[in-house]
Each structure stands twice: as structure tokens, then as C-alpha cells.
Chains A and B, each alone.
Chain A
């Protein structure tokens, strides 16, 4: 018997509700005469658990667990490769932000994302570099001078 995707999601959601319910006991109980702070989240958790259980029952009783997207013969990692790359690059951008700053980090993020997603040709790489510098430069100028936002400066080029 194969387990459908919705079944796994429903089980994970139920486990999530369990964790949240347990965590709700850490909420301080006040005596201000108002509704205790734990009541509203608990109402949400109970409702979420009920609907997760319904989703579980529905997924178990349903024989045709219709996929959300069109069925694809592509392997899993290849299918989500681009999203994973962008996500990893964004994480790298965030981790290096205190060092590189928004200008260098942002330009590097745009350049690497474009190069990873685009066709590998010297002409395109040069174009990607130009797009990265111009777009981040424009945005940095608008926010810094136009909207008076002090963006993270970084340690390498503190401007």
C-alpha cells in the first residue's frame, strides 16, 4: 500500500500541532482579568489539528490522490534544482551580508543566480555581471539617497 503525499503532510501537521500544544504550556498565565494569552493560540491549534485529522482521513479514503502539478518524469532533484540553487544562494547572501554588505553581497547574489540559471557563455556572463552591478547600484542609490535607508555596509566596502 502506497502512502499519498497528503497523508504525509497531514501526519506532519498533526505532529506540528502536538509540538505547539506542548509549547502553549510555556505561555505565562496572567491574572489581569482578561482572556488568558494561551486561549487564542490553543483555539487555533485545536482547529488546525481537527482539520489536519480530516485531511488525513480524506487522503486515506481517497484512491486518486491528484498531484498538485502535472505529473513529471523528471527526477526530484532535477525538477527542483533551480529553486534549490536560488535558495542556497540567498542563504549564502544572508550569511555573508555582515561582511559583504548589501551592495557587494546583493550584486554577487544577482550575478551568481543569473549565471547559475542562464546559459553558460562568456557573452552572457558579461551581461549578467553588468545586470548585477547596474540593478543593485540603482536599487542601492534609490534606497540610500531617495528613501534615506541606511543599508548594511559590510566590512569590505563600508559605504
Chain B
């Protein structure tokens, strides 16, 4: 059965039309990722309108191509100009730019490209092996657990993506509210329509998303007249550069420990809802520097400083896809968009996604592998395209893309009201950005609003009474597990600020481990009980270590 599904998926992915779309998608992603101010998310969002007319496999494959291409495209501008194309390649510039300035731009690009490739392939292997296993765990979830999981996804997104946690949570709640407008799925009752027939069907996900993200981003990009009139980048010297593929691969294989460690960091970060490549590349760079015997060389153009961030940011994509496919929860904003694409094709991502849609699931696995090979092939060509694109001023791109947004949004349902939705949410997104509200929690709120309400309704119906529902939320192991991590994710911003300064932070991790041990011990099966014991022992060990250091939080004192 599995072989049949895999063969069918291969057939679909390697169809000439799908291959062509993936080449276009990956190339578009590489170019979009290399333009500062033009994020990968925006590129994936703008791909969505093209996917309506495509099959789910074609649509998803194209988007995966854009995603993978975008993650690798950011390194070009970062290495050649010192300005990262995307936040996912910030750390790449720390050593990539100095290496290029020292006269080795070909090697720097080679290291970046091949680290991205190997990081992506490692995460693809983990995606194929872990997603089905995680989905099996997901099948244990009842509506209580799923509701708690959505709460966790929203709280961690709010705590990681914003300047302040309060604004992040308000943004997430606004997203949930937007999703509740119109007829509700359970009773079919209209809500907050204010007498408008148009609002009865609620807001479509795509116009809201493009308005919030792309429209508002483009308005921000043209805010400064002088900057908008200048070419996207100046002083890019890349003529005659030849990517040193062989030398780069040799160097990477010699530093395989760094590659594997960074890829694992990337996958783990991707699995967490909301934590994307922008976080993983810095984390991996930091860990590579700490682990290196020559840490003083970091920042001067050392290969390890390029391998770590580039391997991790591509690996993050695999991690984010694991969460999306196994649990139906987006790992980041980009997978939230992909989730929206699945919904457009009437495919409901959930823990049963892999078992109910094995052909599509395996096609995603294969497309993710394939996109990395296409990325390697297209990188050299995109270097030339990159040099051409960066000569265009931002205001020209913005005006054309805005018109494209309107056409793309109209194409969804063939109704002009969707363009009005785009217009309104464009203003809301722009205002929110100016006022310091992060958009990621709001987008996640819009995507997960229906899932949260549906599961809450089911849970209350099954529990019988509200009191019993509340009791079930804290006595069901998985629901409790997610409530615990949600609570700790709320405290996380304060922990991060006070780390290495306040003594209470020494207790954060042990407390989390002990609290997580409780639901783990409540679960069936000895491996989970064993994990609970390990967690408690780990917490005790950490507390003893802190006590031995006299509860000192300064790293200097510890040394």
C-alpha cells in the first residue's frame, strides 16, 4: 500500500507540468529571497493565487519550491553586499560577507548553497521518518487536546514574534475574532454581520492574508520616497564569479558535525509553532561558535560560520512541514499559508492527514527533496537574474505587485468583495505594523480560529457540562501537556530578558521539566513513564548544578 502511494506520488511530482512549476517556483523563490524587503512569506503568499487552477500536488509542489528557493536565495545578497535578503540569512552575512571580501566569493556562495542543500536533505529525511510517527501520536488527540494545542500554538507565536507579549496575544485574538465573523460551522448562525449579506459567508482566508501581509508590507516598502526610488541594491560586484562547488563540498564534509548539529537545530526550531528560519540561523551560528576550537575566527570569514546558519535555515522548512502534516498546526507563517492552500483544495490538515491523503502527503515529501536539487541547479542562473532584478527600484515592483494582488484575490471566488477585503485588511495590517503589533499571531489566529472553535464545541458536548470540560482539560494528559507548555511559553519572554541576570531564571527549565513530567507520567505505555522519570532527574540535576554554583547567574562567575 505504501509502495503504491509512493509510486503514485512520484508519478505526480515527476510529471513534466509539475516539474516545470517546481523549476519556476524555486527560481522565483531564489530571486525573491535575494531581494531585501521582499520576504519568503510574501513570495509564498503571492504564489497562492496561481495554485487555484492547479491540482493540490501541483500547488503544494510550487509553493515548496518557492519556500526552499527563498531560504537559499537570501544568502546571495548577504554574501555579496552584506545585506541579508531575508531574516533567515542574517547570520550567514557574519562570515559570508568577510569571506567574499577576502576574494573568495565563489567559495562563500558554494558553502552557502551546499550547506543549504545538505541541511534541507537531512531535514527531508527527518520529515519522512518523523511526520508519520508524530501523526500516530496525533491520532491520540481528542478535541480537548486539540483545543489546548491551538492555544499553545497561539501563545508561543505571540511570545516569539512580537516586541511585547501583550500585543502579540491581542493580535492573535484579533485573528481568532476575524475567523469567527460570518456563519459558524456548528450551528450555521450568522455572527457580527451587522446586516451585511456579504459578511454572512465570513472573510475568505486568502484576501485577509494577502492584505495583512503583502499589501501592508508593500506600503511600508514605499514609505520613504527617496529609498523607494533607488535601485533595490547598489554596488553589487558579482561579475565573473564562479561558484566553487567541489571545494565547498569537501570543506562541508570535513565539518560534518557542525552540519548535522545545525540541521538538527533547524528541524527542532521548525517543529515549534512560530519559530522559523530567522531564529534558527542565529541559534545554529551561536552553537557553532561555542563548539568551535577557533571561535575567535568567527566573523572573519570562517567556513563554519556559513555552514551553520545555512544548514539550519533550510532544515527549519522540514521541521515546519513535520508539524503541519502531522498535527495540522502550521510551524510558521509560511506553512500557515500552505495550510490555507490545502483548505482551498478542500483538504483539511489534521493528525489523520497522512493516513487519509497518503498520495498528497508522499508527494509533499518527494517535492521537498526534489526542490533542493532544483535549487542547486538554478542557483547559478539566479545569480545573473539577481544582478538584473536588484537594479529595479522598489516603487516599480510595489505598484505592479499591488495590481497582481488584486487580480490574484479576485481569482479565488470571482467576486469583487474579496478585493475590498484585501483593501481593508491591507490598511489594518499597515496600521498594526506601525503600532508595533506582530502580524504572525493574527495570521495564525485567522487560520486556526475555526479549528479552535470546532474542537471547543466538540469537547464541551462530549464533557456534558462546562465544569466537566474544565476538569477534562487538566486531567487529560495531552491537553495538560499543551496547557503546561502554553503557560511556560507565556513566561518565556521574561525568562529570555532576565536570563543570566536574575536568579529565578535558573528554575525556569527545571520547573518546565517537572511540570511536563506530570502529563507524561499520566500517559499510557512505559516509554512515556520513562521520559517522565528522565525529565524529573534532569530537573534535579540542573537544580543541583545551580546550587553548586551558589545560584550565581553570571557566566563569568561560573567560569
The interface of chain A, by Cβ under 8 A from chain B, is 5-6, 9, 13, 20, 23-24, 27-28, 30, 32-38, 40-41, 44-45, 47-48, 51-52, 54-55, 58, 68-69, 79-83, 86-87, 90-91, 93-94, 97-98, 102, 106, 109-110, 113-114, 117-119, 131, 135-136, 139-140, 143, 146-152
Contact = CB atoms under 8 A, between A and B. Distances in A.
A94 B189 contact: no
19 contacts: A13-B170, A40-B456, A41-B180, A48-B174, A48-B177, A51-B166, A52-B170, A82-B228, A86-B398, A90-B402, A94-B416, A106-B407, A109-B406, A110-B399, A118-B229, A139-B407, A149-B414, A151-B407, A151-B410
A106 B405 CA distance: 11
Nearest to B412: A149
B225 interface: yes
A9 B192 contact: no
Contact of B399 (A34, A47, A79, A114): A114
B173 A48 contact: yes
Contacts of A97: 416, 419
Nearest to B408: A143
A34 B170 contact: no
B163 interface: yes
A117 B395 contact: yes
B166 A93 contact: no
A81 to B, nearest CB: 8
A68 B50 CA distance: 35
Contacts of A143: 407, 411
A117 B229 contact: yes
Contacts of B475: none
Contacts of B400: 110, 131, 135
A69 to B, nearest CB: 7
Given A94-B419, A94-B420, A30 B187 contact: yes
A36 B186 CA distance: 9
Nearest to A146: B53
Nearest to B460: A35
A148 B54 CA distance: 11
B16 interface: no
Interface stretch (B350-358, B430-438, B533-541): B430-438
A102 B407 contact: yes
Nearest to A56: B166
Interface string B406-430: 1100110010100110010011001
B322 to A, nearest CB: 29
Contacts of A109: 399, 402-403, 406
A90 to B, nearest CB: 6
Interface in B152-210: 163-164, 166-167, 169-170, 173-174, 176-177, 180, 184, 186-187, 189-192, 194
B554 interface: no
Is chain B's binding surface mostly helix, strand, loop or mixed? helix
A68 B419 CA distance: 29
Contact of A27 (B166, B176, B191, B436): B191
A87 B398 CA distance: 12
Contacts of B389: none
A9 B435 contact: yes
The list of the 9 closest CB pairs from A to B, nearest first, reads A113-B399, A68-B436, A117-B395, A147-B53, A37-B189, A35-B457, A83-B219, A149-B411, A48-B173
A36 to B, nearest CB: 8
Contacts of B186: 34-35, 37
B163 A117 contact: no
A62 to B, nearest CB: 10
Contacts of B403: 106, 109-110, 135-136, 139
A51 B170 contact: yes
A23 B184 CA distance: 15
Given A48-B174, A131-B396, 18 more contacts: A13-B170, A20-B192, A27-B189, A33-B461, A35-B460, A37-B187, A40-B456, A44-B177, A47-B173, A48-B173, A55-B166, A82-B228, A86-B222, A86-B398, A94-B420, A135-B404, A139-B404, A143-B411
A41 B222 contact: no
Contact of B170 (A48, A80, A81, A94): A48
Contacts of B173: 44, 47-48, 51
B151 to A, nearest CB: 11
B430 A83 contact: yes
A105 to B, nearest CB: 9
Contacts of B169: 47, 51
Contact of A83 (B164, B223, B414): B223
A83 B222 contact: yes
B52 interface: yes
Interface in B201-256: 218-220, 222-225, 228-229
Contacts of A27: 189-192
A82 B456 contact: no
A136 to B, nearest CB: 6
A98 to B, nearest CB: 8
B472 interface: no
A33 B436 CA distance: 42
Given A82-B222, A118-B229, A23 B407 contact: no
A97 B434 CA distance: 29
A69 B434 contact: yes
B286 interface: no
Interface in B358-373: none
Contact of B180 (A40, A82, A117, A135): A40
B229 A119 contact: yes
B396 A114 contact: yes
Interface string B45-74: 000001011000000000000000000000
Contacts of B219: 82-83, 86-87
Given A41-B177, A147-B411, A54 B166 contact: yes
A58 B166 CA distance: 9
